Chains A and B, each alone.
Chain A
Amino acid sequence: MLKSGLTSASSFNSPAMRSSFLFFIVLILFLGFSKSSQALAPENESCLKCHTHQTITFHNTLTKREDKRLMNPLYILDKDHFASGVHAKFKCIDCHSADYSKYPHNAELKLEPLSTCLDCHGGDAKYAAYQFEKIDLEFQKSVHFQKSGDSFTCSKCHNQHYYQAKSRNSSEVGDIVKFSNEMCMSCHSNNSKFQLISDKLKPALSQIHEWLPNQELHFLNVRCIECHTQVVDSLSVSHNILPKEKALKNCVECHSKNSMLEASLYKYKNLQSRSKIGKLNSIIKNKSYVIGAYQNIWLNYISILILILALAGISIHVIARIIKK
């Protein structure tokens, strides 16, 4: 009761993912043609010629005619989105088979196993800071791996084409939260993707989280993983996604002086802001305010002082009243 976020909290359950897909398509229509790819490998042009467009025209060797067909929407790439991702510099055939350069593509190419994240990033000193091995260990404890094993690949959440290291690089908490939650939502609010690993339908998130006051505000300002993972201090982002029974359901964990958020959402950001703009500033500039987690020492001191003065004044007055009676 008395919750204000209920009305629009449905954005999580709504066909937002489907419409964002439509949005991509519109985006491609508007931007795809006008902007040329920035910083993308020139070798990719021949792939992107089809894989960024809605339609494809090819010479049909059987009918001997030019055929114009619709592209399979799942195989349309957002070029600009790709260009802003961590793998923007890669050639398509760095990961996909070089045989894809022939069209029509050989159907068996689909069976080729793609590299996993660790194939490239594992044991690489250049990426030591990211602790890929440790992430892998943590991930193997997670409910995702426990339930689905190896078929739950990194890419189920981390889209290789578009991935950005937001939680490390963004200075906007809201940005980090949005990016992170969209990863979860890409399956948890999208039945077709959800059923890649489950026979059930996606859970009704806004009902399940009905107990949470100001649901929408929470969803916009903290990540799902804040409550649904086990925080590991040495990792920037914890990857041990807990089964739902073990999710945190205790307001005070975040809404208190030693807020758990300091160890999770604000961890990396704190490291950055402490050196640059100071803690107070970073709290003030942050759009979200966590009840109880912010306590200004000076305000606390001043209020204790005022309280003591008031009580002392009253005590002295009481004593004087008794003596003079």
Chain B
Amino acid sequence: MNSENKIYFYPVWLRIWHGINALGILVLIFTGINMQYATPGFKLMDFELAVNLHNIAGILVSANYLIFVFGNLRTSNHKFYRIKLKGLYKRLRLQVEYYTTGLFRNQDAPFPLSEKRKFNPMQKVSYLLVMYLFVPGLVITGLGLLFPELIIENVYQVSGIFLTAVLHASLGFLVSIFLIVHLYVASIGKHPINNFKSILNGYHDLNGH
């Protein structure tokens, strides 16, 4: 299968992590919205069920996050996440220009994917932000809310639980926005379905891009 124009980008452990993570986070977003916005007159699902599902999915996604961290530590996948700050702004601008204009003029992608490069600069920055800031932030605040007795009671007169909950909901919202954009950006390519096939079967088709 490993022909010239196919790269094995997504090893099994990564696909397992990604699958569990994607499903888990969908459940978290759905139940989270229900917990935050339900009223006695309107609800998407039973509140108690939402709380329980949210707890279970949260623990699952947190444990799963360890697969992502250790997987990256133990394999070479982490090299795709290495970022150089020098010239980053310029690289990002090039990528944004490509998505907003170049793409429509059939120009070539400024950062074509290869064995050495799995992500373009925008992907790299957003994945780094989400995977090493937002998700761990959610895991920590989430565990705090699950075991509220661990939370500091007051931070400069402001309730610790309050801060934790607002931070948790805000990060959750940011990850939801990431997910929408992530899904859309993944659909940009020769054929919208190609990337989704890749994250399932592991192979990225260079010709298909």
Chain A residues within CB distance 8 Å of chain B: 1-2, 4, 211, 213-214, 216-217, 250-253, 255-258, 283-289, 291-292, 294-296, 299, 303, 306-307, 310-311, 314, 317, 320-321, 324
Q: Which of B32-49 contact A (CB under 8 A)?
A: 35-40, 43, 47-48
Chain B residues within CB distance 8 Å of chain A: 35-40, 43, 47-48, 51-52, 55-56, 59, 99, 103-104, 146-149, 153-154, 157-159, 161-162, 165-166, 170, 173, 177, 180-181, 184, 188
Task: Decide: A285 near B40, CB < 8 A? Known: A2-B52, A2-B56.
Answer: no
A295 to B38, alpha carbons, bound, how many Å? 12
A residues near B165, Cβ cutoff 8 Å: 289, 291, 294
Taking the closest CB of chain B, its distance from the CB of A277, in whole angstroms, is 11
**Contact assessment for B148 and A252 in the assembled complex, using a CB-CB cutoff below 8 Å:** no
Task: Decide: A284 near B162, CB < 8 A? Known: A4-B149, A310-B177.
Answer: yes
Can you identify 10 A-B contacts, CB atoms within 8 angstroms?
A217-B148, A251-B51, A252-B39, A285-B157, A286-B162, A288-B159, A292-B38, A294-B162, A310-B177, A314-B180
B residues near A214, Cβ cutoff 8 Å: 148
Selected from B39, B48, B158, the residue in CB contact (under 8 A) with A284 is B158
Task: Decide: A255 near B38, CB < 8 A? Known: A286-B162, A289-B165, A314-B180.
Answer: yes
A106 to B144, alpha carbons, bound, how many Å? 61
Q: A283-B162, A291-B165 are in contact. List 15 more A-B contacts (CB 8 A).
A: A2-B55, A2-B146, A4-B149, A213-B48, A257-B37, A285-B157, A285-B159, A287-B159, A294-B162, A296-B166, A303-B173, A310-B177, A310-B180, A311-B180, A324-B104
Give the nearest-CB partner of B150 in chain A.
Answer: A4
A251 to B52, alpha carbons, bound, how many Å? 12
A255 to B40, alpha carbons, bound, how many Å? 9
The interface residues of chain B, by DSSP majority, are classed as helix
Taking the closest CB of chain B, its distance from the CB of A321, in whole angstroms, is 7
**Contact assessment for B104 and A253 in the assembled complex, using a CB-CB cutoff below 8 Å:** no
Selected from B47, B104, B153, B158, the residue in CB contact (under 8 A) with A252 is B47
A299 to B169, alpha carbons, bound, how many Å? 10
A258 to B38, alpha carbons, bound, how many Å? 10
Task: Decide: A255 near B35, CB < 8 A? Known: A299-B166, A303-B173, A314-B184.
Answer: yes
Taking the closest CB of chain A, its distance from the CB of B203, in whole angstroms, is 24
A residues near B59, Cβ cutoff 8 Å: 2
Selected from A4, A211, A289, A303, the residue in CB contact (under 8 A) with B147 is A4
**Contact assessment for B40 and A256 in the assembled complex, using a CB-CB cutoff below 8 Å:** yes
Taking the closest CB of chain B, its distance from the CB of A145, in whole angstroms, is 29
**Contact assessment for A251 and B159 in the assembled complex, using a CB-CB cutoff below 8 Å:** no
A61 to B142, alpha carbons, bound, how many Å? 72
Task: Decide: A292 near B170, CB < 8 A? Known: A251-B47, A306-B177.
Answer: no
**Contact assessment for A250 and B104 in the assembled complex, using a CB-CB cutoff below 8 Å:** no
Most chain A beta carbons < 10 A, residue from B99, B157, B162, B170: B162
A residues near B99, Cβ cutoff 8 Å: 317
B residues near A213, Cβ cutoff 8 Å: 48, 51-52
Give the nearest-CB partner of A314 in chain B.
Answer: B184
